[in-house]
Amino acid sequence: MHSLDALIQGQGPALYRRARGLIPGGTQLLSKRPEMFAPEVWPAYYSRAKGARVWDLDGREYLDMSIMAVGACILGYADDEVDDAVVAAIRGGVNASLNCPEEVALAEALIELHPWFGMVRYARSGGEAMGMAVRIARAHTRRDVVLFSGYHGWNDWYLAANLGETDALDGQLMAGLQPAGVPRGLAGTAIPFQVNDIESLRAAVRGREDRIAAIVIEPARGEDAPDQYLRALRETASELGAVLVFDEITSGFRMCAGGIHRRYGIHPDIAVFAKSMANGYAMATVLGTETVMQAAQTTFISSTNWTDRVGPTAALATLRKYRREQAETRLIALGQRCQRIWLDAAARAGLTIRISGLPTLAAFGFDHPQAVALNTRFTIEMLRRGILGFRQFKASLAHADADLDQYATACDEVFGLLAGLSPADLLSTPPHHSGFQRLTRE
């Protein structure tokens, strides 16, 4: 078992202290900030990763029972099949004056899975793909207003919701997001409504009927969206002549190959994918009906790095393995077992927890006044036992039954420990952050 002092004095926390003076916010992604897990203790950097395991800069090995690259590595880290395809593509030239044929093959494969769509465009990250989707919707409708629920990234179109009410986005997963740098002229162009609440949507529509370009939602994150709600969204968008956009950056490939909306039988006009579609390689796509997607030719959407060969190659290899292995069956079973591990360990320890999320996006929370401190101490104790543990678990195909056995034993130990601690003894290090917070330079 690793000591707390050894973790704090590791090379990762030391490097992160340097990074905070060189990189605004310390990292490129909020979800990878150590402050989101266990400040001053989380190892911050990896030297290598394989399967379901990660090695830190000090050579310590961890079983990853946390976010698995924020959900990107659906097959597991450094999957041989995907990596071999990418290495072959690299040796054939990552980019050239001509286009790579893989982008056509990928388009055909994605449309085969989603035959209600007719065309695709590519990007390399979820945020820029969402920006592209909203631009296409606005170009198609020649309108400006976007109604949305859920979290959709860092772009101006989304953060504009906080220009009028600075806390408008707080109920949309990520609290504390500020619209600094977003032009004030965008005020009133992004209007939030509450997830799974059709009356909230209707209130957002009222008085804006002829100005709504798009309705944007996450079709699932914490739970499956109710059928009646999705059908009402589809009907509302059609009545308004607005584009219905499903942000599948998180939900895609978690419960089935492609979009989770395949399970619902309710089809949007546009769906956006990124993260797990290429098992950690930079890749994103916007799929849509031909009528809507042709609007991309009426506006300027273009990037050199959207034409590289690596992303489409990785996505094709990921999709082939995912479908061949019927990965969703394994992923769902792993997530369900993890949820049972949490519930059983908490019951034995006498702790009350709440389980949330789809099985493949499982999460728990302590029902306790010191929940943040308990979360943080849970993470620290898992690190001491060689596990990247967090209040979320994003399953991958690389997780084995033995990994869940190891995790179950650790959860029993740690939940029992937490139950016996007084509030004063819970933490000797800072608690984790719960949302976006500005970091000062040290």
CB 281 within 8 A of CB 316: no
Whether residue 204 has pLDDT greater than 80:
yes
- pLDDT value, residue 434: 78
Q: How confident is the model at residue 300 (pLDDT cuts 50, 70, 90)?
A: very high
Q: How confident is the model at residue 174 (pLDDT cuts 50, 70, 90)?
A: low
Domain 95-308 is of which CATH architecture?
3-Layer(aba) Sandwich (3.40)
Kindly give, in sequence order, each residue whose CB lies less than 8 Å from that of residue 229, ignoring residues fewer than 6 positions away: 196, 197, 198
Q: How confident is the model at residue 180 (pLDDT cuts 50, 70, 90)?
A: confident
423 φ, ψ to 5°? -55, -35
The b/e string for 207-230 (b: 16+ C-beta within 10 A; e otherwise) is eeeeebbbbbbbbbbeebbeeebb
Q: Which helix (H) or strand (E) segment is 102 a member of?
A: helix 102-113
Beta-carbon count within 10 A of 420 CB:
10
Ordered alpha helix ranges (H), 174-309? 198-205, 227-240, 261-264, 290-293
Whether residue 240 has pLDDT greater than 70:
yes
Whether residue 351 has pLDDT greater than 60:
yes
The b/e string for 57-93 (b: 16+ C-beta within 10 A; e otherwise) is beebebbbbbbbbbbbbbbbbbbeebbebbeebeeee
- pLDDT value, residue 211: 96
The tokens describing 411, both together, are 């959860």
Question: What is the spatial distance between Cα 369 and Cα 432, in angstroms, rounded to a whole number?
Answer: 15
Say which DSSP state 433 is in: P
Whether residue 170 has pLDDT greater than 90:
no
Of the chain, the percentage scoring pLDDT greater than 90 comes to 87
All structural domains of the chain with their residue ranges: 4-78+329-425, 95-308
pLDDT, greater one: 310 or 160: 310
Lookup result for tokens 């389980």: 355
The tokens describing 92, both together, are 């054939």
Ordered alpha helix ranges (H), 114-206? 126-141, 156-159, 198-205
Beta-carbon count within 10 A of 233 CB:
23
Whether residue 168 has pLDDT greater than 60:
no
pTM, two decimals, is 0.93
- pLDDT value, residue 100: 97
- pLDDT value, residue 440: 57
**Residue 140: Cβ-neighbour burial (10 angstroms; 0-12, 13-18, 19+):** buried
Query: If you average pLDDT over residues 330-334, what whole number do you get?
Result: 98
Superfamily name with CATH number, domain 4-78+329-425 = Aspartate Aminotransferase, domain 1 (3.90.1150.10)
Whether residue 167 has pLDDT greater than 60:
no
Average pLDDT, the chain: 94
Q: Which of 96-100, 194-198, 377-381, 412-416 has the lowest mean pLDDT?
A: 194-198
- pLDDT value, residue 79: 98
Residues 123-152 pLDDT 10s: 999 999 999 999 999 999 999 999 999 999
- pLDDT value, residue 162: 85
Long-range contacts of range 85-93, CB-CB < 8 Å, 24 or more positions apart?
85/313, 85/314, 85/316, 85/317, 86/281, 86/310, 86/313, 86/314, 86/317, 88/313, 89/309, 89/310, 89/313, 90/309, 90/310, 92/309, 93/309
Q: Going by DSSP bridges, is the β-strand pair 243-247/212-217 parallel, antiparallel, or unpaired?
A: parallel
Our measurement of the distance from residue 152's CA atom to the centroid of its chain's CA atoms, rounded to an integer in Å, reads 10
Whether residue 110 has pLDDT greater than 60:
yes
- pLDDT value, residue 165: 62
Residues 22-57 pLDDT 10s: 999 999 999 999 999 999 999 999 999 999 999 999
Beta-carbon count within 10 A of 407 CB:
23
CB 258 within 8 A of CB 283: no
Beta-carbon count within 10 A of 427 CB:
18
Whether residue 166 has pLDDT greater than 80:
no
Radius of gyration of the chain (CA): 22
